[in-house]
Structure 1
Amino acid sequence: MTGEDTNPMLQYILNNPEEFAKNLSEIAENGGKALAAYLEPREKGEAATGGTEELNAVVKTLAEVGNYWMKDPSRAIEAQTKLWSGYMNIWNSTLKRMAGEDSEPIVAPSNADKRFKDSQWDDNNFFDFIKQMYLQTSNWAEELVEGADELDDHTRHKAGFYVKQISNAMSPSNFILTNPELLRETMSSNGSNLVKGMKLLAEDIKAGHGDLRIRQTDPDKFEVGVNVAVTPGKIVEQNDVCQLIQYTPTTETVLKRPLLIVPPWINKYYILDLNQEKSFIRWAVDQGHTVFVISWINPDEKQAQKSFEHYMRDGILNSLERIRKTTQQSTVNTIGYCVGGTLLAATLAYLARIGEEDRISSATFLTTQVDFTHAGDLKVFVDEEQIEILEHRMGQKGYLDGSKMATAFNMLRSNDLIWPYVVNNYLRGKDPFPFDLLYWNADSTRMPAANHSYYLRNCYHKNALAEGEMELAGEKLDLSEIQIPVYNLATKEDHIAPAKSVFKGCGCFGGPVEYVLSGSGHIAGVVNPPSKEKYQYWTGNKPEGSLDDWMQNASETAGSWWPHWQKWITSQDDNRVKARKPGARRTKILEDAPGSYVKVRI
């Protein structure tokens, strides 16, 4: 049945009560399996039983908002009156509609809100009423946080984030009885969707070793080295921090300067090599670059004491030395992506301080922050109290579980990366669509305790790199000493490295900076091959003043930023030499790309 039936309420009536009763017993059985999957690791001491510290932090923060409003009775009454006035307006509007009168909605979702696209959210008075009451309440709660002007900025930021998470979780679209589409599917299938959904829930809790690991794609459809991370190459260096991949050339001649890519260690490098069509690595090889990529280890307790300095020395500096030996080139072009770019910037400042800045000729930063003043919602998780909690937990194992970081990133866009999959998987009982990008997103990595603690404290908490206060390998770093050309790419909808934050970081460098703003977000704005003809990018004057002012005079170009970057790189040096194959200059080949490190899963 559909919403076009003569009596629209018929679509919410069971087709077969007997089958529904049978399915209820299966739902209960699968629910028991889900509960067992949750309890078993905790009974064995293999999973944390708490989460109380995080809950306490949420309660404490929201209590500060409540205290602001309650300590002034007139202010509290005004806030309550505003809420109930909104409720009464919605109720009166609904009564008019039920009487057959025309009545415009009191509150409506934004055009970008995908939760309420089903026609019944508007056409059915019951669901429309629930929707409006929810929107009225969530908007009111957000306004309470914004209006608590006596709170410090960080507390207000945290409170706003927590309120949004609670609001997103409580959306009527997440519950069967208040979501018309879910209710129709449940009634028409006599609950078979919930049988499958509860089965998937039990599987995902078991896969998360007692914690729910929401599947965002079908993990059986992808395999690293088989249909993702397939660009041909060899492992030419390895230590207990990373492997170094050299890719096989596809052109007869190559640019004289090799290219070293430093990916983030928070996720795996193959975001830049998802498949031949999307692979930036493959595209760069085809443009004539001798491409080297660092593949970071997926650490365990043995890497607990591996620090930011270790990642610089054993990662970037050791890779530079191997590249010099195998290519006979003393200087390289570099790319750093996200936190890999932050490490690259720190390394550049270190090399400048010790007089070895000529080892790197140019630096490209992809969605990289060096100044964390405007670091966005991730700053919610970083204050002294929360860092101490995190350090205590990392001290128990020597690392931070990758699932914890993955959850934090997903929470930044919970209405895109959490709740749609909860609804699809566990309430609709459908397998998620196979998608290589989401497979990569779920293939998370652990973080060594020493490195992660240093990064959080010195970057997010103290902003020490931008302030010239970061010390690394005995040297105090100054980004203004970096004089080489910089290509600084931001993405317009980035929720991890906001465009405003990347723009502000441009002013930290001492040399020429080309600021480029790409359409879309942290991943899609970067992984945007020219063949797709998607999105756009903006270029403009020297990145000074504010981003809004810069945008006023920026030029928009349709398509991918990749060719623009290639022109920028070759403008530095376009000399070419005979193509270099992995294994030259007696370089020992350890194994085929993508190597073994990237295949280690948590």
Structure 2
Amino acid sequence: MTAPKSSETAQTPTTRAGTPNVPAIIEPASAPPNGHRSHQHSYETLDRASRALTARLTNGVSPNAAGAAFSDFMLHLSRAPGRQIELAERAQQNLIKLFLHATGLTSTIENRPPFEPKPGDRRFDHEGWQKPPFSLFKQYFLASQDWWDTATEEVRGTRRRSTDRVGFITRQMLDVMSPSNSPFLNPEILAKTMETGGMNLYEGSRHFADDIMRQFTHTRAEPSAEYEVGRNLACTPGQVIYRNELCELIQYSPQTDKVQAEPILIVPAWIMKYYILDLSPENSLIRYLVSQGFTVFTISWHNPSADERDLSLDDYRRLGVMAALDAISKIFPGTKIHACGYCLGGTILSIAAATMARDNDDRLASVTLLAAQTDFTEAGELMLFLDESQLAFLEDMMWDQGYLDQEQMAGAFRALRAEDLIWTRAVRRYLLGQDEEEFDISVWNSDSTRMPYRMHSEYLRGLFLENRLTSGRFAVEGRVIALKDINAPFFIIGTEMDHIAPWRSVYKTTLFTDSELTFVLTKGGHNGGILSEPGHRGRHYRIGHRTPEKLYLDPDTWAERHPPKEGSWWVEWGNWLREKSSPEMVAPPAMGAPDEGLSPLVAAPGTYIFQS
């Protein structure tokens, strides 16, 4: 399949005075970095090939970026004698605390350990860590961790990005050296080895060999028969009623005698398969909406290969969001549509909605954004992986491959929570010999997709690195768009523990929109917080409403003024959608619109979902 001819995503430079000027087209990512040196293109190609080779060895991490960060940090630290004395005193204090604890000379009767693991650190939960000598191993590591946390605090004059990157790299190194990773220092591993006669290490070696083989062959483990897409995953009944080269559009079968007049379009992220929103029947957001009397459509994205390297960000808007809206409008002529975007799907939906507002297209009844960012100045720890040096590495690796591989993307996300997603997993799998327990969400999580070279480069540069969408410099088809032009009401979801789209970053949508807006902050992370079905134990959320005349509240003040409520935000959203819909229910629509060329093609979940 050949890539579609894409409209070029345009961006707008500024004049010297800082005001928008004539729109400029984003240079395709495949063009030479220095266009005025086209006669030296062969030299540039050699440079890019060299960087691509290095990037493959480092999994896309730029050693230049890390080196520059350490150089910046250490040069400023070398000229800060006060900080140096502070760190020397901290080391001395920690050594004294360790000595007193080891000798039992502390003043407290119970000899309470001087250092405690950070909240959420489960590596030292085993009871064996409370007894010597393992308690001393643990305390020495925690004392080192405490010192390094202090040592990597910001030094006056250092670039904040450098400080954050040094702190991140230091945490990665500490995680490697944790005594919990050693079969000789971890009491849980030693106890398991004694109990099984070493069979845990034998099983662990088999797991390790299997994983290494899959790494070299670029294959992934097949899920067990317990979970199967189309049977008990992504199993809400429906039909694919439209397909193009980039997406399939699924219309779900009604489950009620009457439905809301306005349909819902869900735009998922293309970094993963859509069925995170249609997981098991009991936690499927799509099934819940259909059961509540809504007609639901969702996009299922094509998994691009190297042949689609030139798919652009605007292709995802045109051939994804807009093509789906056009198809739904044929089934519901003259009816407005509720649009919902998740993660990257929310970002492209925001761009599409702003473009529609600019062009006087008023088909949207509302806009819902699930853990989706529109402003990227506070995009969390993912920004540690992005500056000009790092982006050049990623671009050249994608230039060589034609896409960003799913494992290369997953590596960056795992690094954000290395102690849990890398090292704890390795201990369980390779040293304790335990098989990984399979869940519906873990099956989905391993079923990721690729990112086309040109689109991902445009996304990283135009949005992440340069933040053009909320700075008034993002243009579509040669004309600038603005989120504040959107008149449709917003429903925004942030999750408390999100490492990918931090909730304070998601909340910033309130700064750049003027229409009615409801913001919800729910318990959980980027995926778990969205999967918050009614009846899910231990769930809570905060909810607040903003009318156009209200003044801005900063996120922390907002959280203080909106106490948590027990339960699921799904119920709140369903009620909100009803409020924004026509009061009278109608008969369910036909499946597709055969007279308009939208006949059912295949049963849900379609064909694109099975592309690997």
Q: TM-score, normalised by structure 1?
A: 0.87
Aligned to 1:598: 609
Partner of 1:580: 589
Q: Which residue of 2 aligns with 1:458?
A: 462
1:504-515 maps to which residues of 2 (within 5 A)? 504-515=508-519
Spell out the pairing of 1:97-116 with structure 2 (5 A cutoff).
103-116=111-124
Deviations 1:401-448 (A, max 9, x none): 011111211222223322221111111111111111111111111101
Larger mean CA deviation between 103-112 and 241-250 belongs to 103-112
Matched with 1:54 is: 62
- C-alpha separation in 2, matches of 1:196 and 1:55: 35
Asked if the contact 1:503–1:547 (Cα under 8 Å) also holds between the matched residues in 2, the reply is: yes
Q: Equivalent residue of 2:300, what SS?
A: strand
Give the deviation of 1:321 after TM superposition.
Answer: 1.0
Partner SS for 2:409: helix
Alignment-derived partner of residue 401 in structure 2: 397
Aligned positions of 1:135-534 closer than 5 A: 135-209=142-216, 219=224, 221-356=226-361, 358-534=362-538
For 2:257 and 2:438, locate their aligned partners in 1 and report how far apart those are by CA, in whole Å. Answer: 37
* Cα separation, 2, equivalents of 1:152 and 1:419: 30
Q: Which amino acid aligns with 1:181?
A: E
Distance 2:208 2:276 in 1: 27
Q: 1:541 to 1:249 in 2, by over 3 A?
A: closer
Structure 1 residues 267 and 515: CA distance shift in structure 2, 3 A = same
Structure with larger RCO (C-alpha < 8 A, sep 6+): 2
2:120, 2:280 → 1: CA distance? 30
- Structure 1 counterpart SS, 2:265: strand
Deviation at 1:53, TM superposition (A): 5.4
Distance 2:578 2:212 in 1: 50
In structure 1, what is the Cα distance between the partners aligned to 2:532 and 2:110?
46
Instruction: Work out whether residues 305 and 450 of structure 1, in 8 Å CA contact, stay in contact via their aligned partners in 2.
Output: yes
Residue identity over aligned pairs, in percent, reads 36
TM-fit CA distance, 1:73: 5.6
2:128 corresponds to: 120
Q: Which amino acid aligns with 2:506?
A: V
Deviation at residue 389 of structure 1 after TM alignment: 0.7
2:91 to 55, 77, 83: 83
Question: In the alignment, which of 54, 72, 82 is matched to residue 64 of structure 1?
Answer: 72
Closer, same or farther: CA 429–508 of 1 in aligned 2, 3 Å: same
Deviations along 1:516-546, one digit per CA (max 9) or x if unpaired, are 1111221121111113244111122538221
**Cα deviation per residue 1:273-294 (whole Å; 9 max; x = unaligned)?**
1111000000101111111100
Query: In the aligned structure 2, how far is the partner of 1:540 from the partner of 1:279?
Result: 25
Instruction: Please name the residue that 2:11 is paired with.
Output: none
| Worse-superposed segment, 385-394 or 55-64 | 55-64
Code of the residue aligned with 2:134 in structure 1: it is F
Separation (CA, whole Å) in 1 of partners of 2:252 and 2:192? 49
Distance change in 2, residues 1:48/1:456 (3 Å):
closer
Deviation string for 1:549-573 (max 9, x for gaps)? 1122214321101111111111112
Q: What SS does the aligned partner of 2:251 have?
A: strand
585, 589, 600: which one aligns with 1:589? 600
- C-alpha displacement of 1:451: 0.9
- Match of 1:529, SS state, is coil
Using the TM superposition, name which of 388-397 and 528-537 deviates more.
Answer: 528-537
Asked if the contact 1:304–1:399 (Cα under 8 Å) also holds between the matched residues in 2, the reply is: yes
Cα distance in 1 for residues equivalent to 2:592 and 2:245: 21
Letter matched to residue 191 of structure 2: R
Residue 248 of structure 1 contacts residue 581 of structure 1 at CA under 8 Å; is this kept in 2? no
The AA in structure 1 aligned to 2:599 is K
**Kept in 2: contact 1:91–1:129 (CA 8 A):** no
Structure 2: which amino acid aligns with 1:264?
A
Aligned partner of residue 184 in structure 2, secondary structure: helix
Structure 1 residues 346 and 510: CA distance shift in structure 2, 3 A: same
Structure 2: which amino acid aligns with 1:401?
D
* Number of the residue aligned with 1:569: 577
Go from structure 1 to structure 2 and tell me whether the alpha carbon gap of 1:198 and 1:97 turns closer, same or farther (over 3 Å shift). Answer: farther
Deviations 1:173-216 (A, max 9, x none): 12211111011112332322122112111211222336797x7x
Shift in Å at residue 506 of structure 1?
1.4
The answer to which of 180-189 and 582-591 deviates more is 582-591
**Contact conserved, 1:325 with 1:585, CA < 8 A, in 2?**
no
When the two chains are superposed, the root-mean-square deviation of aligned CA atoms in Å is: 2.4
Structure 1's consecutive aligned runs of 4 or more residues displaced over 6 angstroms after TM superposition are: none
Corresponding residue SS for 2:339: strand
Specify the code of the residue in structure 1 equivalent to 2:394: L
Distance in 1, matches of 2:459 and 2:443, equals 26
Amino acid at match of 2:514: G
**Counterpart amino acid of 2:327?**
R
The 1:540/1:50 distance shift into structure 2, 3 A limit, reads closer
Quote the Cα distance in structure 2 between the aligned partners of 1:137 and 1:202.
33
After TM superposition, the structure 1 stretch with the greater mean CA deviation from structure 2, 323-332 or 178-187, is 323-332
Q: How many residues align?
A: 552
After superposition, the Cα gap between the structure-2 partners of 1:74 and 1:508, relative to the gap in structure 1 and judged at 3 Å, is closer
Q: 2 CA distance for matches of 1:50 and 1:86?
A: 35
Given that 1:516 and 1:537 are in contact with CA atoms closer than 8 Å, whether structure 2 keeps it comes out as: yes
Secondary structure of 2:153's aligned partner: helix
Paired residue for 1:545? Answer: 553
SS of aligned partner of 2:375: coil
Q: 1:4: which partner in 2?
A: none
Q: Distance in 2 between matches of 1:306 and 1:211?
A: 24
Following superposition, the deviation at residue 317 of structure 1 comes to: 0.5
- Say which is worse superposed, 580-589 or 379-388, in terms of deviation: 580-589
Deviation at 1:82, TM superposition (A): 2.2
SS of alignment partner, residue 465 of structure 1: coil
**Quick one: structure 1 residues 63 and 177, their matched pair in 2 at CA, closer, same or farther if it must change by over 3 Å?**
farther
Question: Amino acid of the residue matched to residue 587 of structure 2?
Answer: K
1:510, CA displacement in angstroms? 2.4
Q: In 1, distance between residues paired with 2:226 and 2:173?
A: 33
1:591 maps to a residue whose letter is: V
| Contact kept in structure 1, 2:60 and 2:408, CA below 8 Å | no
Distance 1:57 1:185 in 2: 42
Change in 2 beyond 3 A, CA 1:65/1:212: farther
Q: Which residue of 2 aligns with 1:42?
A: none
- Deviates further, 578-587 or 113-122: 578-587
1:92 maps to 100
Matches of 2:148 and 2:364, distance apart in 1: 50
Unaligned runs of 5+ in 2: 1-52
Once the two structures are TM-superposed, the CA of residue 463 in structure 1 deviates from its matched residue by 1.0
Relative distance call for 1:310 and 1:421 in structure 2 (3 A) is: same
Match of 1:12?
Answer: none
Residues 92, 277 of structure 1: alpha-carbon distance in 2 compared, 3 angstrom cutoff: same
